[in-house]
Structure 1
Amino acid sequence: MSAQSMRRSDWLLLCLLALLWGVSFFFIAVVLPSVPAFTLVTVRLALAALALAGVMRLRGIRLPRGARAWGGLAMLGLLNNALPFSLVALAQGTIDSGLASVLNATVPLFTVVLARIATSAERLTPARLGGVAAGMAGVAVMVGSGALSGGPGQAGAQMLSLAAAFFYATGTVFARRIVPGGLSPVAMAFGQLSMATLLLLPLSLLFDAPWTLPMPPPHALAALVVLALMSTAGAYLIYFRLLISAGPVNLQLVTFMIPVTALLLGVLVLGEVLVARQIAGMALIALGLVLIDGRLLRRR
């Protein structure tokens, strides 16, 4: 069986998801000086879960039922949120947000391999492999040769980012296998985020002792709220809808788009200037997306 194809609406949602997750690295960098990593992630998840609980109440959506459903959502919360969110936050204590987002773009490489092992619906074709290779090359060109240099601390933080990418890929590939069908995207997102909150709360209490911390400044609180409501609650509503309609490999194309999103935001909002390697990197990423999507090749 061939991989799922992408509709125009899927691509639009994918671009919106790339925007929401692209700015999340910036918001994390704003909050981290005032809030330790485990507490940051726990509050982020808890606020997002509360927001989705409100959405469920307004729309009359029932909570998931049964031990199997909640067990699957707990596993998904561990793989998709608790582990990777914490690893990214810990890594960003050492490396900057741009490099963290670039390393996050390795998710499709892990996803393609894991999806091929886990399901026959995501067949590895030469075009798809070529698309992943082109996307990875584009990311490498964009980041440049000097970004991965540094001492042991830098190397360790980069490994944390790569481990986070692996867990993101694992959670996405196995989401439809470990969670029972029939749940709405809102219920899946709420269940995942609420279970991840419960998993991380003990670590926050044990390692950060948040009751002893001073109140963060207003700009950090504002960034944390936006991170929770837009880049977490809103993003995961889109995520689960795309997981159903586009499949796990297509969904993880978003991580190729996140460095591009961050770069374009810098140009449009901060007045930064594009250089030749960044334009070349975006061209390679665009080529990779076209190859993985496959529709232009089928038409030819």
Structure 2
Amino acid sequence: MINRTMGPAEWAMLILLSIVWGGSFFFYAVALEDLPVFTIVFLRVSLGSLGLWLCAWAMGLLSRQHAGLWRSFLIMGLINNAIPFSLIVWGQHEVASGLAAILNATTPFFTVLTANRLTTDEKLSWNRLLGALIGLSGVGAMMGTDILAAQGGSLLSQLAIVGAAVSYGFASVYGRRFAQTPPLITAAGQTAGSSLILLPLMLVIDAPWRLGFPPLQAWLAIAGLAILCTSLAYILYFTILKRAGATNIVLVTFLVPASAILLGIMFLGESLDLHHVIGMITIAFGLALIDGRLLAMLRPRRA
């Protein structure tokens, strides 16, 4: 049974998930000091996939019927891992981890727009359309000063992270085809697929054998990305999804930027400008409209 109202256990898992996913932007910032983009992303998804497959094996979820899904796993791995992870890591060369998390929080807006275009049963309602427009205006508020100041590097980096959110939107729609597949298998399969896609890119572009041996902090960041932000995060995500449903799991989108911002301020010396804060508040309001529970609370209860 799905609990529409989350209890203490579900809230604790949701907050932990937001800290773990918010931490991915922090770990990216640390790893970027010593490692190139494709090497970071490949290590994250390959090691994370190994952990997920081990969990699937321990839970007895492995089956031959999943072998026919590898083409779909490759596509899902491309649009849900390889493309967005690479864009986010590349963008963080110029963008602080907290701002990157805020821009990434626009994913629900692009999800509802993509679903409206590509599906027949998830059309836009007025509140979702209004929420998407308000949220996108929040993104414009954050990037507007960079456009006016012609700060090309920063603007391109922010657009890259928004591009990652667009890719996540398409992945959310494409992922509907895995409805009959155990969620843990889907997570393990897509990370394995993205590993296969990223391996040649890493070898050709990064040439990791030419790199010096990374320091301990880089390896700790990679371990955090793989173990915490990939393996543990997917296990938490699908546990909450099973117990509390999709409507409640979307609340993590509100919490991830907060945890990323706090980690960036505490450990990386980052700060946010006023227009970033205004943009974050605007995005949060747009998300609340898309989620719908705020409107439900405001409606008078029928006798």
TM exceeding 0.5: yes
Deviation at 1:75, TM superposition (A): 0.7
Deviation at 1:117, TM superposition (A): 1.7
Deviation at 1:137, TM superposition (A): 5.0
Match of 1:8 in 2: 6
Q: Distance in 1 between matches of 2:13 and 2:124?
A: 24
Q: Distance in 1 between matches of 2:236 and 2:60?
A: 19
CA deviation string 1:241-291 (max 9, x = no partner): 6677745x9866644543233234567888999998777666545543443
CA deviation string 1:48-96 (max 9, x = no partner): 0111122122212215635541111111000000111111112222332
Which shows bigger deviation, 117-126 or 220-229?
A: 117-126
Ranges in structure 1 where 5+ consecutive residues have no aligned partner? none
> What secondary structure is seen at the aligned counterpart in 2 of 1:65?
helix
How large is the Cα RMSD of the aligned pairs? 3.4
Match of 1:31 in 2: 31
Q: Distance in 2 between matches of 1:83 and 1:11?
A: 30
Q: Distance in 1 between matches of 2:18 and 2:273?
A: 22
Q: Distance in 1 between matches of 2:130 and 2:75?
A: 32
Match of 1:193 in 2: 191
Q: Distance in 2 between matches of 1:271 and 1:213?
A: 27
Q: Does 1:175 align with 2:175?
A: yes
Q: Distance in 2 between matches of 1:7 and 1:198?
A: 40
- CA contact 2:99–2:272 (8 Å) conserved in 1: no
Match of 2:205 in 1: 207
Deviation at 1:194, TM superposition (A): 0.8
Q: Are residues 276 and 157 of structure 1, via their aligned partners in 2, closer, same or farther at CA, if it must alter by over 3 Å? A: closer
Match of 2:105 in 1: 105
- CA contact 1:45–1:196 (8 Å) conserved in 2: yes
- CA contact 1:139–1:259 (8 Å) conserved in 2: no
Ranges in structure 2 where 5+ consecutive residues have no aligned partner? none
Alignment counterpart, residue 293 of structure 1, candidates 291, 294, 297: 291
> What secondary structure is seen at the aligned counterpart in 1 of 2:65?
coil
> What secondary structure is seen at the aligned counterpart in 2 of 1:60?
coil
Match of 1:71 in 2: 71
Q: Distance in 2 between matches of 1:238 and 1:198?
A: 25
Q: Distance in 1 between matches of 2:287 and 2:251?
A: 7
TM-score, with length taken from structure 2: 0.80
> What secondary structure is seen at the aligned counterpart in 2 of 1:34?
coil
TM-score, with length taken from structure 1: 0.81
The total of aligned residue pairs comes to: 293
Match of 1:52 in 2: 52
Paired residue type of 1:230: L
Deviation at 1:200, TM superposition (A): 0.4
Q: Are residues 63 and 49 of structure 1, via their aligned partners in 2, closer, same or farther at CA, if it must alter by over 3 Å? A: farther
Q: Distance in 2 between matches of 1:94 and 1:70?
A: 35
Match of 1:230 in 2: 228
Q: Distance in 2 between matches of 1:282 and 1:96?
A: 14
Q: Are residues 259 and 137 of structure 1, via their aligned partners in 2, closer, same or farther at CA, if it must alter by over 3 Å? A: farther
**1:132-281 maps to which residues of 2 (within 5 A)?**
132-136=132-136, 143=142, 146=145, 149-177=149-177, 179=178, 181-240=179-238, 246-247=245-246, 254-265=252-263
Deviation at 1:44, TM superposition (A): 0.7
- CA contact 1:130–1:288 (8 Å) conserved in 2: yes
Deviation at 1:104, TM superposition (A): 1.6
Identity %: 41
